[in-house]
Amino acid sequence: MREGSCWVLRRWLFGIMMVLAASMLHAESDTAQPPAPWLQVIRDTPYVFSDGFYQNISIIRRWVLLEQSYCEQPDRHILFDQRGRFLTWFENEDTVAENQQRLNRIREILYRDDRVHRWIGGSATETGYPFALRCDQPHVDLSAAIDRLLGTDPADRVWGTWDGMVAGSEDEPIPLIELVRQVFNDKAERQGYQPGEAVVQAFTGQILIESGARKESFSAARAVGLLQLRPEVLADCEIDERFHLHRMAQVDCAVRLYQQNDRNLRPVFDERFGHLPEAQREQLYSLLLVQAYHGGIGRLMQLLGDEEPGAAAQQFAADAGRYSAEDIALGLVFHNLGRISLGLDSLFYLVDVRIATEAVCDTRPQACEPVTDATQSTSSDPGQSD
């Protein structure tokens, strides 16, 4: 496998095509019907409401992911407002239809009690307001995923070779988290790609959210493996189909995607947010790289641009001292929900990755130390074990 210029050119062209396609969709939407009622709530939300937004949202997402507080029992729903603030909860009814009816009744009660400024009934196909979350997330088991990432069970550890790298050995396999460090170190040594520590830590959090650190993980969208990479992305990384689930190949390909996103995003980001204090600036940048991985570099570039989706970025850049890096990152998404294919899942993704990353650091603090040069290189054939 080689780091060829053809791959770089294809990724660059793909990013440009995404920007153009999203711009065309936006232009067509100008003549479309008014936004759905729940989207109007977002359009009417002042930018200053993003102050503290991350803290509010992260509290309720932590309840969901870690099965805590009101979500200690899975058969519940929780409701929250446009500032991400928890409002109330209820025990689930016997059927989906009964749940929906009760949810709408509670929304109306919250409005009548002056807990929210409006209420909007939802349905199986329409989002309502206040927003609601199910506590039951059967695909999420963060504790088990962290164990797999840290190699608590030796069966989850990695050994093998890929693209001149050697990870552990058959007798001494290494935890997956060490493999991530090794790949980033290899990129730094061979290509000079040295992202901040926040980026490396967030990457490990993404593995937990994308696949639960499972090697054999598949999605309905045909994404596969640890980092849920689609076949066309794996093809761009020149990975043969028989190695699509190869853990070293997956990590290497995803880091290369990070590297390409960094090339495209950094100039646009610096133009918009380059004046921020260093700590805030680099934390925000790491969060936006995470979002670029999830939603595509084209959408991120639009969020930082001069057209309508970039209005939030312009406001936050002008008043950045009011907000944390996390508030800005979430605010860029929140104020563009319903535009350029951004939905509530995009909002939650960033928070979930951050929660997962913090959980790893809490479980193994040494895993969050600065990157050190622990790369082992050899000219072995790729694809041996993984």
Domain boundary among 82, 106, 134: 134
Query: Does a structural domain hold residue 373?
Result: no
**Domain match, 229 and 363 both:** yes
CATH of the domain at 188: 1.10.530.10
CB atoms within 10 A of CB 359: 20
Whole-number pLDDT of residue 25 = 43
Query: Does a structural domain hold residue 160?
Result: yes
**Domain match, 233 and 325 both:** yes
Query: Does a structural domain hold residue 104?
Result: yes
**Domain match, 106 and 59 both:** yes
Q: Which residues of the chain have pLDDT under 50?
A: 1-14, 16-31, 371-383
pLDDT in tens, 53-84: 999 999 999 999 999 999 999 999 999 999 99
Q: Which two tokens stand for residue 19?
A: 């920007």
**Domain match, 70 and 170 both:** no
Residues with Cβ < 8 Å from 223, sequence gap 6 or more? 229, 230
**Domain match, 170 and 262 both:** yes
Whole-number pLDDT of residue 369 = 64
ω into residue 130 within 30 of 0, thus cis?
yes
**Nearest residue to 1 (alpha-carbon basis) of 275, 236, 216, 267:** 236
Query: Does a structural domain hold residue 378?
Result: no
Query: Does a structural domain hold residue 90?
Result: yes
Whole-number pLDDT of residue 47 = 97
Per-residue DSSP letter, 91 = E
Query: Does a structural domain hold residue 374?
Result: no
Say how many domains are in the chain: 2
Whole-number pLDDT of residue 32 = 55
**Domain match, 342 and 216 both:** yes
Radius of gyration of the chain (CA): 22
**Domain match, 49 and 177 both:** no
**Domain match, 105 and 252 both:** no
DSSP-assigned beta bridge partners for residue 224 = 218, 229
Whole-number pLDDT of residue 27 = 44
185 near 248, Cβ under 8 Å? Answer: no
Query: Does a structural domain hold residue 384?
Result: no
Whole-number pLDDT of residue 1 = 45
Whole-number pLDDT of residue 367 = 74
Q: For 81-210, list the strands marked E by DSSP.
A: 86-91, 131-134, 160-162, 165-167
Rounded Cα distance between 246 and 137, Å, is 27
Question: Which residues form the domain of 339?
Answer: 5-33+141-368
